[in-house]
Amino acid sequence: MRHSCFFTAISIALLGISGCKMADTGPVAFNPATSVNPTLSTFDLENTDKAPDNLEHTRFWDFYQGIQPTGSDATDENLETANEIRTHIDKFIRATRSPDGKSYEKVRNPLDLMNQVIAFNEIDNFTEGRRYISQRIAATEAGNYSNRANGALIKFTDQNAVFNDESLNDKIWVYPTLDWRYTPIGPEGTDLDEKVYRTIQYVNRSVAPEDAEAQPELISLLAGSRFDANSFVARGYNRPELATADYVSRNFGGIELRQEFTENKSDTLFIKSADKPLLDLSRHGINLADSSPDCLRIELDYVTSTLRIFHSNGEPAKIDAPTAENPDETKDNDAHCSNNEAAVSWVAKGAFERQ
């Protein structure tokens, strides 16, 4: 799978359990992370007069609209499948659809909120952290901002939700990890010099069993981004080169969105571990033995404006391929949804700026 090492490392390397070894970049001089506990008017994000392009920076903006079938591929079957994909995403990002159903007017989730808070410089310590990373870049010296490393608490409170006595996890969001890491020199044998990596982690708070059903669907998320250090800025949004976000829910399994913004411009959505039916592929002439396959991949290629859906069930990602030199050798399983042929495809709207 393309960039598999990155997508493993970017999500968990900063938590200390990466499977992809990063190069030793020398000592880090200072970690300015401190506890922050702001009260925000609301966790809802929408376009406003002061921020008319708010939603364009949300994680699913391109994918959500870009999967729309076009031309002769805008058949009833394809349109309904695109709608089902959006309906599933809605459960994780709490999107309020636009009237035409092809986009959204509002979202409410910890990742998009944190991105906005950082970009708008609403938290002095976050601004200090990005300024520090920028200073380290200018000096070509490794640097790290990490609330986890400093034992610092990040907690956001929604004033409106408190006033309306909403459930605990609608009122308070806790982030165990906000981490920026600048590496002047990447791992040996790669071209990953001059990169900044950012990790954001959210975990909901435990509640009594009788209060569980009142909580939002989202249990946790872990998101990572890689930026070009030479274009990294301390104010506004930084556009990533690569990004991944992994969401886990109470009742609908998990989803993972992997995004490539530079070379292979694409978004890939993995739908995982769902106990309920996801997409009705029978409308495309595909009869699944299980209505919730254990691997479902939806890829939107912005260069060719093509949407592809892959699926498999009961197939491991790797299979044994022993050799005389290495009896434990494995190889990619061509039957797994990460590697097999697309079951469904259509010409999609895409996004002009991603082409």
- pLDDT tens-digit profile of 169-188? 999 999 999 999 999 998 88
Query: How high does pLDDT run on average in the chain?
Result: 88
Report which of 99, 98, 103, 116 is spatially closest to residue 58, judged by C-alpha positions.
116
Q: Are 133 and 145 in contact (CB under 8 A)?
A: yes
Round to whole Å and give the CA distance between 290 and 273.
Answer: 12
- For residue 289, what pLDDT band results from cuts at 50, 70 and 90? low
Percent of the chain scored above 90 by pLDDT?
A: 71
Secondary element (H or E) of residue 13: none
Joined together, the tokens standing for residue 106 give 């509002």
- The CA angle 191-197-201, to the nearest 5 degrees, is 145
pLDDT band at residue 7 under the 50/70/90 scheme: very low
pLDDT of 3 reads 44
What is the model's pLDDT at position 277? 56
Q: How far apart are CA 79 and CA 352, in angstroms?
A: 21
Q: What was the pLDDT predicted at 280?
A: 78
Is the model's pLDDT at 305 over the cut of 90? yes
pLDDT band for position 274 (50/70/90)?
A: low
Contact between 182 and 143 (Cβ < 8 Å): yes
340: pLDDT confidence band, cut at 50, 70 and 90?
confident
Q: State yes or no: pLDDT of 191 exceeds 80.
A: yes
Is 27's pLDDT higher than 50?
no
pLDDT at 18 over 90: no
SS3 of residue 179 by DSSP: strand
Would residue 23 count as lying in a domain?
A: no
- The phi and psi torsions of 36 (rounded to 5 degrees) equal -135, 145
H or E stretch at 97: strand 96-97
**What pLDDT was estimated at residue 8?**
42
Chain position carrying tokens 């408190």 = 162
- ∠262-141-259 over CA atoms, to 5°? 20
Q: Name the burial class of residue 227, with classes exposed (0-12), middle (13-18) and buried (19+) by CB atoms within 10 angstroms of its CB.
A: buried
In a domain, 101, yes or no: yes
pTM of the full structure: 0.89
What distance in Å separates the CA atoms of residue 103 and residue 121, rounded to the nearest whole number? Answer: 27
pLDDT tens profile 62-119: 999 999 999 999 999 999 999 999 999 999 999 999 999 999 999 999 999 999 999 9
Q: Is the pLDDT of residue 21 over 50?
A: no
Q: Distance between alpha carbon 175 and the CA centroid of its chain, in Å?
A: 15
| Residue 307, domain member (yes or no) | yes
Number of structural domains found in the chain:
1
- Residue owning tokens 């906005």: 116
Of the pLDDT bands very low, low, confident and very high (cuts 50, 70, 90), residue 168 is very high
pLDDT of residue 276: 58
Burial class (CB in 10 A: 0-12, 13-18, 19+), 111: buried
* Residues of the domain holding 289: 4-17+28-354
Residue 151 is assigned to a structural domain of this protein: yes
- Per-residue pLDDT band for 263 (boundaries 50, 70, 90) equals confident
Q: Considering the domain boundaries, does residue 53 fall inside one?
A: yes
User: Two tokens at 257?
Assistant: 């969105």
Q: Does 22 fall in a domain?
A: no
Q: How confident is the model at residue 1 (pLDDT cuts 50, 70, 90)?
A: very low
| Phi, then psi, of 128 in degrees rounded to 5 | -60, -40
User: Contact at 8 Å (CB) between 176 and 203?
Assistant: yes
CB 318 within 8 A of CB 330: yes
Checking phi first, is residue 132 left (phi over 0); if not, alpha (psi -120 to 50) or beta? Answer: alpha
Q: Is the dihedral of CA 210, 167, 214, 89 positive or negative?
A: negative
Cross-strand partners of 332: 318
**Helix 110-119 with 124-139: angle, nearest 10 deg:** 70
| Structure tokens belonging to residue 11 | 């999500």
- Residue 218 forms part of a structural domain: yes
